[in-house]
Structure 1
């Protein structure tokens, strides 16, 4: 182990999730069981930037795993102002940011607005055919920071009630799906099941066939090149890495795609603010759900820096985020 610690990583990257900044007083979550620190979350984002900038090996990039600003901004007419404040903190950082879209992005902006916004980080995608799905409204892409390692950003709200026009076929299809399991008047309330069907809520979503087919092609190429692949999205997809209420609607289909390939080493998500982790022994994939900044007290932190080696990744967490070792199969 001492010898491992002396090794220089091939590269590092930063991770952070669920900042949910709003210039409002502290509050609580939907079920009023946990405190939320809306205003101080911006300072915690600055703390992360300072740590990444001062790291011995500075990160090549940062994964921002979604929900950068909170939905409470929209009814106050503060969405643009809050987003500008959060993005200014990233401007002081040492590396480009890959933004994942979460449910709170869609509480503040339409899908078309997000595609035109600085939260669309596809300018950092690989060039050439196949770097993103053919459908331009699907926010997914791959990027290769160093040879042999590919990262994939997925759109967990491609199939969703959020961000879609109510008159659209996408909205109608999503409503038909969610109504199979959730009969509540308020679709943010989970259906009355004590099992994985609790995931069928308005604040979740899923992956279209077009996106899954594109991911399958990306992973096929990575298999052929013997690359290591890390997938980033807002919604967790393994039932043992989060509560059922936070899972993607069609997590089984996404797991089936991963299971049919050998190249995936890690799946990173946010959304569940108390975090989670599971190592899938069948596939060797590490499923990490990162703790959310929004439910982190102002005297603590919630971010990490990941060091990547030829045979493993090491997450060094700060504050609530635990250290993790992700060995490659």
Structure 2
């Protein structure tokens, strides 16, 4: 049997999601079915960073897929502090970090605040005409880490009740869609679930 040397990857990257940090004691999700470890989420992020840094093929970039801090921070007036705490940890990443925005980003910050924050990583976009969104209020960009591979960071909350003023077309369109397909009184509760649950 031939012993072929292992092929080197074209590129590597790390992925992390739902850090959901808050400087509060552990608790449960709203339906009380899963425990949430708010403070220790930083330790898990540190372990991921260490693993990436010690890897034989260090990641060229990290995808942070949203919900970097928990919505609890907003009611405590701790959104900025919590975000700075987590971003400080990301400062030791072995590569650039591309941030995606989840619902907890919008629980903590307005769209305009996010666009002017360090969670706006669109400066890492490829410099091509198709790499820029059509409107300045949309957070979306693309980048190519290696020829033939394209990553697109998309604004999943463009048409949404989150992050949009009620007077906007995007808010009204989202409200129409939710009312059409969701019978719950609380439209933040998905169809087919009890309207007493919150997410």
TM-score range for the pair, normalised by the shorter chain length: over 0.9
The structural deviation recorded for 1:5 is 7.4
Counterparts of 2:4 and 2:138 in 1: how far apart (Å)? 40
* Aligned pairs (5 A) from 1:41-190: 41-190=41-190
For residues 112-167 of structure 1, the C-alpha deviation after alignment (integer angstroms, 9 at most, x for no partner) is 11000000000000002010221121111110112221111111111110001122
Partner of 1:144, secondary structure, is strand
Q: CA deviation at 1:63?
A: 0.4
Q: Which protein has greater RCO, CA pairs closer than 8 Å, 6+ apart?
A: 1
**Corresponding residue for residue 21 of structure 2:** 21
Question: Residue 3 of structure 1: CA displacement?
Answer: 6.1
| Secondary structure of residue in 1 paired with 2:63 | strand
Deviation of 1:108 (Å):
0.3
CA contact (8 A) 2:31 2:198 kept: no
TM-score for the superposition, normalised by structure 2: 0.92
Structure 1 gaps, min length 5: 194-200, 204-329
Whether the aligned pair in 2 keeps the contact of 1:15 and 1:65 (CA below 8 Å) is: yes
Q: Distance in 2 between matches of 1:13 and 1:103?
A: 24
RMSD of aligned Cα (Å):
2.2
**How many Å separate the matches in 2 of 1:74 and 1:167?**
23
Which ranges of 4 or more aligned residues in structure 1 deviate by more than 4 Å? 2-5
**Mapped contact 2:69–2:82 kept (Cα < 8 A):** yes
Indicate how the Cα distance of structure 1 residues 58 and 186 shifts in structure 2: closer, same or farther if over 3 A, else same. Answer: same
Aligned residues: 197
| Structure 2 gap segments, 5+ residues each | none
Cα distance in structure 2, aligned partners of 1:42 and 1:126 = 30
Q: How far off its partner does 1:185 sit? A: 2.4
**Which TM-score applies when normalising by structure 1?**
0.57
Is residue 143–residue 151 contact of structure 2 (8 Å, CA) maintained in 1?
yes
Contact 2:20/2:69 (<8 A) preserved: yes
Offset, 1:107: 0.2
